[in-house]
Amino acid sequence: DADLYHEFNETLEFDYYNSLMINKVDGNGNPVDLGGEFALEENEHFNKLQVNTMMSDIQVPTNVFNKDPGILNGVYMSEALNDVFVDNFQKDPTLTWQYFGSATGFFRLYPGIKWTPDDNGVVTFDCRNRNWYIQAASSPKDVVIVVDVSGSMKGLRLTIAKHTINTILDTLGENDFVNIIAYSDYVSYVEPCFKGTLVQADLDNREVRDVCSCVCVCMCVCVSASAQGQGSLCNQAIMLITDGAMEDFQEVFEEFNWPERRVRVFTYLIGREMTFADNVKWIACNNKGYYTHISTLADVQENVMEYLHVLSRPMVINHDHDIIWTEAYMDTVAQSLLLMTSVAMPVFSKKQETLSHGILLGVVGTDVALRELIRLAPRYKVA
């Protein structure tokens, strides 16, 4: 991503309207950093919220630095969307929220609003965890999560491993299939009734999150599912969560995965120590995956999201930029009981030097109220 944003380095001093800071002043009455005067008016169409229908603004989660170069450059680059949003709304007043969710973590929202943190002053909303982002950013996938529960994986390491599993599960939707397998001296399935198969990653199945194996079993699950026409019949991935691997399982990969390498392997090295890190890295690099080192709980979110960027690469190479309609959900932005659906599609870099890698910039989407969508179904070609 550093190469992608290199040409925008001159924008590092670029300021923007941060939805958490707008209309705030310091003790001297001056606008706070990334704040400033931002006109807001109550609007009936947006559930009587105070909004600015002439401008979008930016929301950044608390765990993302709001002046990170990637954030500043991305905000600058997406500034042109503001005019597009305004024009869309003027042409079609039935639209509700329009937005761009960036791979770096910022969320450009139209119309602009003032964001309210939770009771602890924390903004936990991360657009990259939303169903519309995840579904648009990657094709349906089969995921087997493999977690090391040997004696060295205890205390903080086990806590980080659990959080990593939860975060991976949060990136899965109803079009995905998943299983969780633990290994130490023996192999065990988190949920025995899911043994040897993949289950739909709906909310009920994702809630089974006890961290309870080996690579051979995982490969068998993936190969068997594909052969029997089970799972998503699209991307397949193994997520290996461990504090070190004493071997690289080359013989297993030679038997089940090479030379096609249909199953990608993503590895997450847990803890501050780098014992056997070379083997963990080798496994990912030789199976079209991605290696990351997670030393603290704060590292989990950003490192887990990397796998979505890798799975998005074939989409840009194949020009497979499908429009995604999400299932119905409650409007979380408006904090109301309005039933919504989102229309979203991925946005990739078109730069020649990044085309072969398929750099995911983010996902652009629009919310549509279901009552309006039903009325306008023939126009939107939706049943």
Tell the CATH superfamily of the 140-301 domain.
von Willebrand factor, type A domain (3.40.50.410)
Distance between alpha carbon 153 and the CA centroid of its chain, in Å? 26
Q: According to the model, what pLDDT value does residue 350 have? A: 62
3-state SS, residue 180: strand
DSSP string covering 236-253: EEEEEEES--S---HHHH
pLDDT at 1: 43
Assess whether pLDDT exceeds 70 at residue 369: no
Per-residue confidence band for 10, with pLDDT thresholds at 50, 70 and 90: very low
Q: Is the CATH number of domain 2-134+320-380 3.30.450.20?
A: yes
Nearest to 183 by CA among 153, 162, 209, 225: 153
**pLDDT for position 119:** 83
- pLDDT per residue as tens digits for the range 253-268: 888 888 888 889 999 9
Task: Provide φ and ψ at 142, rounded to 5°.
Answer: -105, 125
Q: Phi, psi at residue 59, to the nearest 5°? A: -110, 135
Of the two residues 250 and 234, the one the predictor is more confident about is: 250
| DSSP character string of 271-287 | SS--TTHHHHHHHHHTT
Strands (E), 111-242: 141-148, 177-183, 187-189, 199-200, 235-242
pLDDT digits (tens, 9 = 90+) for 111-148: 999 998 888 888 888 998 888 888 888 778 889 898 88
Output DSSP code: residue 25.
B
User: Which positions ≥6 away from 47 have C-beta within 8 Å?
Assistant: 331, 334, 336, 338
The domain locations on the chain are: 2-134+320-380, 140-301
- Cα 139 to Cα 135: distance, rounded to the nearest angstrom: 7
pLDDT (0 to 100) of residue 257 = 83
Bigger pLDDT: 169 vs 93: 169
Please tell me the distance from the alpha carbon of residue 322 to that of residue 319, in angstroms, as a whole number: 9
Alpha carbons 341 and 147: distance in angstroms, whole number: 35
Kindly report the pTM of this predicted structure: 0.76
